[in-house]
C-alpha cells in the first residue's frame, strides 16, 4: 500500500487575527472513511476547503495523493501553481457543500454533466449517459430534467453527491 | 346545491362559494378615474386645433419613416456597443489587478459624470483636437493614417457618444448582477475544476442575467429616446426628420404627436421583448415559469369554460 491519500502536517489557517486551524496533523489512507467532529465554528469546513485549495493555508504542509495542494516544491522553495493546474487537481477531488451549491440555472442532469464536459472534455453523449446512470443509482432517474428549485433538500443533496 | 351539504354528487368536497365583501370605496375611485378619462378624451377629440388629419397625413411620410430607421439603427448599434463595453468594464472593475480595475473606474467616472449631449458634440468636433488618426505601435511607426473628418462623420460621432456613455452605465448594471450571485456558486464551480473564465461564463453570468435584464431593458428604452439628442449634430433621426418638416409647415404639435406615436410603438415592442427575455433567464429560479400572455389567455378561456360547465 502506498502513502496516505490525504496528509496534513502542522496546518495553520488564520482569517485576520482569528486563528482557525492551529496545527492540524492527520493522515487518511485510501479507502478509509474519516469523520471530523466538532462544535460549530471549530474549523471543520475550513479544513475541507483547504484540502481543495479554496482557502490558502498560512503554514504547514498539506498534500493529496502525495502531491502538495496548490504548490510545487522546487528545492526548498514553494512555487504557486497556475490556475489551470489547480483546477485540474480540483477536478479529481469531490466535494459536497453544506448548502449543496447546485447551479440553479441548470437541470439536475446539466449540473452533473457540467464538469465532465467542460473540464475533462468528455464527449457530451458519453457524459449524459454516465450522469443518467449515476442519477439512477441514487434514485433520481426521473428527476434528471428538474431544476434544483424543484427538488427537495434531500434530492438536492443526492445530486450534489453525484456531481 | 342545497345548503348544509359539503360534498358534490361524486362525494368530492365542494369548493367554498361565499358572498364577497362589498367595497364601495373602489366604486367611487373607479367613477372618478372614469370621469377624468372621459374629460381628457373628449377635449382631445373635440378640439379642432389638434388637426388629426395632419397627424394621419405625416404618420407614414417617407421622411418620418427614414428617420425612424435611423433611430432604430442608432439604438441597436449604440446598445450593442454599450453592453459589450459594459461587460468588459464590469469584469475589469472586479479584477484583483489595481491598474485594470482603476482603468475601468476612471472610464465609468468620466462617462457617467458628463452629459451625453456634451459627449455627442465632443465626438462631433474631435477633428479639432486630433485632425489625423494613425494606427500603429504607440510612440512607434504608424501603419494606417486617416483623416478625422472623413473617419468620424456625424453618424459615427453619434454611435461613439451614445455607446461609450451607455457602456459606463451598463458596466455598473453588470457589476451589480455579478455581485448578486452567491459566492458559493463560484466555490462550487472551482471545486469542480472549472477555471475562472469558465466559472464566469458558464455559472456566474447566466445567473447574473436575472438581475441584469430588467435594468438593461430600462436602458434600451431610455436609449431609444436619448437618440433624439443626435439631431443637434445633424444626424437624421426621427426627431430631426420631424424638425425638418415642421420648420417648413409650422405644424409643430402634429409632427410631435406623429413621432411620439412611433416612439411609443417602439418602446411597447421592447416591453414585450424584455418580458420574454426575463422569462428565459428565470428558468430554475422559480418552481414554475410564469405563463406567457398567450398561455394566460388560453388558461383564462379554459377556466371560464370550466365554470360554465360546473354547478
pLDDT in tens, chain A (163 residues): 467 888 888 888 988 888 888 888 988 888 888 888 989 888 888 888 888 888 888 888 888 888 888 888 888 888 888 888 888 888 888 888 888 889 988 999 999 998 888 888 888 889 999 999 999 998 888 888 898 888 898 899 899 988 8
Which of B59-68, B151-160, B266-275 comes out lowest in average pLDDT?
A: B151-160
What would the grid cell of residue A113 be?
454533466
In sequence order, the 6+-apart residues with CB closer than 8 A to the CB of B198 are A118, A119, B189
CA–CA min distance B149, chain A (Å) = 47
Query: Could B191 and A83 be called an inter-chain contact, meaning their C-beta atoms sit closer than 8 Å?
Result: no
In sequence order, the 6+-apart residues with CB closer than 8 A to the CB of B147 are B127, B131, B132, B133
Give the span between the Cα atoms of B251 and B162, in whole angstroms.
30
Question: What local confidence, expressed as pLDDT, does residue B291 receive?
Answer: 64
Beta bridge partners of A65: none
In sequence order, the 6+-apart residues with CB closer than 8 A to the CB of B154 are B124, B230, B233, B234, B235
Query: Are the C-beta atoms of residues B229 and B121 closer than 8 Å to each other?
Result: no
- ipTM exceeding the 0.95 mark: no
Beta bridge partners of B220: none
Q: Can you give the C-alpha Rg of chain B in angstroms?
A: 28
Question: What local confidence, expressed as pLDDT, does residue A4 receive?
Answer: 83
Give the span between the Cα atoms of A133 and A141, in whole angstroms.
8
CA–CA min distance B31, chain A (Å) = 44
Kindly indicate the confidence band of residue B290, based on its pLDDT and cuts at 50, 70 and 90: low
Question: What local confidence, expressed as pLDDT, does residue B307 receive?
Answer: 44
Q: Closest to B191 (Cβ–Cβ): which among A54, A118, A150?
A: A54
Query: Are the C-beta atoms of residues A23 and A10 closer than 8 Å to each other?
Result: yes
Question: What local confidence, expressed as pLDDT, does residue B8 receive?
Answer: 66
Instruction: Please check the confidence at residue B309 and state whether its pLDDT lies above 50.
Output: no
pLDDT of B63-99, one tens digit each? Answer: 999 999 999 999 999 999 999 999 999 999 988 899 9
* CB contact A146 to B (< 8 Å): no
Q: Rounded mean pLDDT of chain B?
A: 85
Give the span between the Cα atoms of B233 and B122, in whole angstroms.
10
Kindly indicate the confidence band of residue B34, based on its pLDDT and cuts at 50, 70 and 90: very high
Residues of B in contact with A101 (CB under 8 A): 182, 184-185, 187-188
Instruction: Please check the confidence at residue B284 and state whether its pLDDT lies above 50.
Output: yes
Tell me what percent of chain B is helix, strand and coil, each rounded to the nearest 5. Answer: 75, 5, 20
Query: Are the C-beta atoms of residues B262 and B228 closer than 8 Å to each other?
Result: no
Kindly indicate the confidence band of residue B146, based on its pLDDT and cuts at 50, 70 and 90: confident
- Beta strand pairing call for A71-74 and A59-64: unpaired
Place of cell 481543495: A52
Q: Closest to B286 (Cβ–Cβ): which among A88, A114, A149?
A: A149
Secondary structure class of A59 (helix, strand, coil)? strand
What would the grid cell of residue B39 be?
374629460
The count of residues in chain A is 163
Place of cell 359539503: B6
Query: Could A105 and B188 be called an inter-chain contact, meaning their C-beta atoms sit closer than 8 Å?
Result: no
Element (H, E) at A34: none
Instruction: Please check the confidence at residue B234 and state whether its pLDDT lies above 80.
Output: yes
Instruction: Please check the confidence at residue B149 and state whether its pLDDT lies above 80.
Output: no
CB atoms within 10 A of CB B67: 26
Query: Could B188 and A101 be called an inter-chain contact, meaning their C-beta atoms sit closer than 8 Å?
Result: yes
Secondary structure class of B205 (helix, strand, coil)? helix
pTM score, two decimals? 0.76
Question: What local confidence, expressed as pLDDT, does residue B254 receive?
Answer: 92
Secondary structure class of B13 (helix, strand, coil)? strand
For helices B252-281 and B52-59, angle between their N-to-C axes, nearest 10 degrees: 60
Mutate to test the interface with A, among B185, B192, B196, B278 (most CBs of A within 10 A): B192
**Alpha-carbon separation of residue B275 from B169, B216, B247 (angstroms):** 21, 12, 39
Give the span between the Cα atoms of A75 and A118, in whole angstroms.
34
What would the grid cell of residue A141 be?
432517474
- Please tell me which residue, A117 or B136, carries the higher pLDDT value: A117
Residue-wise burial string across A96-127, b where 16 or more C-beta atoms lie within 10 A, e elsewhere: bbeebbbbbbbbbbbbbbbbbbbbeebeeeeb
Give the span between the Cα atoms of B273 and B75, in whole angstroms.
15
Instruction: Please check the confidence at residue B137 and state whether its pLDDT lies above 80.
Output: no
CA dihedral B270, B274, B276, B281 (to 10 degrees): 160
* CB contact A161 to B (< 8 Å): no
Place of cell 447574473: B208
Instruction: Please check the confidence at residue B245 and state whether its pLDDT lies above 80.
Output: yes
At residue A10, what are phi and psi to the nearest 5 degrees? 50, 50
In sequence order, the 6+-apart residues with CB closer than 8 A to the CB of B14 are B1, B5, B6, B7, B8
Question: What local confidence, expressed as pLDDT, does residue B304 receive?
Answer: 45
Question: What local confidence, expressed as pLDDT, does residue B289 receive?
Answer: 62
Which of B13-22, B71-80, B199-208 comes out lowest in average pLDDT?
A: B13-22
Question: What local confidence, expressed as pLDDT, does residue A1 receive?
Answer: 47
In sequence order, the 6+-apart residues with CB closer than 8 A to the CB of B95 are B101, B104
Instruction: Please check the confidence at residue B302 and state whether its pLDDT lies above 60.
Output: no
**Alpha-carbon separation of residue B186 from A110, A157, B255 (angstroms):** 16, 18, 53
Q: What totals of helices (H) and strands (E) does chain A contain, helices first?
A: 5, 6
Q: Closest to B188 (Cβ–Cβ): which among A89, A93, A97?
A: A97
Kindly indicate the confidence band of residue B11, based on its pLDDT and cuts at 50, 70 and 90: confident
Give the span between the Cα atoms of A136 and A129, in whole angstroms.
11
First CA to last CA distance, chain A: 28
Residue B232: DSSP 8-state:
G
Amino acid at each position: 500500500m502506498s502513502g496516505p491519500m490525504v496528509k496534513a502536517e502542522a496546518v495553520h489557517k488564520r482569517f485576520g487575527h482569528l486563528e482557525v486551524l492551529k496545527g492540524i496533523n492527520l493522515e487518511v489512507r485510501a479507502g478509509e472513511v474519516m469523520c471530523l467532529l466538532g462544535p460549530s465554528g471549530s474549523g471543520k469546513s475550513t479544513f475541507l476547503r483547504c484540502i481543495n485549495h479554496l482557502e490558502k493555508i498560512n503554514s504547514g504542509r498539506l498534500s493529496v495523493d502525495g502531491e502538495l495542494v496548490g504548490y510545487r516544491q522546487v528545492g526548498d522553495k514553494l512555487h504557486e501553481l497556475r490556475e489551470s493546474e489547480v483546477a485540474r487537481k480540483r477536478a479529481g477531488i469531490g466535494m459536497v457543500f453544506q448548502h449543496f451549491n447546485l447551479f440553479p440555472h441548470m437541470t439536475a442532469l446539466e449540473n452533473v454533466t457540467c464538469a465532465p464536459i467542460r473540464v475533462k472534455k468528455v464527449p457530451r453523449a458519453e457524459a449524459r449517459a454516465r450522469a443518467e446512470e449515476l442519477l439512477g443509482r441514487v434514485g433520481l432517474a426521473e428527476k434528471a430534467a428538474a431544476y434544483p428549485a424543484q427538488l427537495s433538500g434531500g434530492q438536492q443533496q443526492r445530486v450534489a453527491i453525484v456531481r | 346545491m342545497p345548503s348544509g351539504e359539503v360534498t358534490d354528487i361524486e362525494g368530492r368536497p365542494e369548493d367554498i362559494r361565499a358572498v364577497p365583501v362589498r367595497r364601495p370605496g373602489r366604486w367611487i375611485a373607479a367613477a372618478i378615474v372614469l370621469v377624468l378619462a372621459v374629460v381628457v378624451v373628449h377635449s382631445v377629440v373635440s378640439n379642432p386645433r389638434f388637426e388629426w388629419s395632419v397627424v394621419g397625413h405625416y404618420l407614414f411620410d417617407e421622411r418620418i419613416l427614414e428617420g425612424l430607421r435611423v433611430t432604430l439603427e442608432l439604438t441597436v448599434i449604440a446598445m450593442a456597443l454599450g453592453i459589450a463595453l459594459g461587460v468588459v468594464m464590469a469584469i475589469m472593475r472586479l479584477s484583483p489587478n489595481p491598474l485594470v480595475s482603476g482603468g475601468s473606474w476612471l472610464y465609468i467616472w468620466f462617462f457617467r459624470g458628463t452629459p451625453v449631449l456634451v459627449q455627442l458634440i465632443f465626438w462631433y468636433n474631435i477633428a479639432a483636437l486630433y485632425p489625423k488618426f494613425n494606427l500603429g505601435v504607440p510612440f512607434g511607426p504608424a501603419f494606417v493614417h486617416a483623416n478625422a473628418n472623413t473617419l468620424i462623420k456625424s453618424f459615427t460621432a453619434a454611435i461613439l457618444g451614445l455607446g461609450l456613455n451607455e457602456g459606463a452605465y451598463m458596466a455598473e448594471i453588470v457589476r451589480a448582477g455579478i455581485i448578486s450571485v452567491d459566492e458559493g456558486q463560484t466555490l462550487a464551480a472551482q471545486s469542480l475544476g472549472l477555471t475562472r473564465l469558465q466559472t464566469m461564463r458558464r455559472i456566474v453570468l447566466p445567473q447574473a442575467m436575472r438581475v441584469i435584464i430588467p435594468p438593461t431593458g430600462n436602458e434600451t428604452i431610455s436609449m431609444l429616446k436619448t437618440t433624439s439628442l443626435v439631431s443637434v449634430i445633424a444626424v437624421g433621426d426621427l426627431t430631426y426628420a420631424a424638425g425638418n418638416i415642421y420648420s417648413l409647415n409650422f405644424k409643430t404639435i402634429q409632427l410631435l404627436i406623429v413621432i411620439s406615436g412611433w416612439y411609443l410603438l417602439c418602446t411597447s415592442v421592447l416591453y414585450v421583448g424584455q418580458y420574454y427575455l426575463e422569462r428565459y433567464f428565470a428558468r430554475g429560479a422559480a418552481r414554475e415559469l410564469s405563463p406567457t400572455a398567450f398561455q394566460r389567455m388560453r388558461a383564462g378561456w379554459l377556466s371560464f369554460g370550466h365554470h360554465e360547465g360546473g354547478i
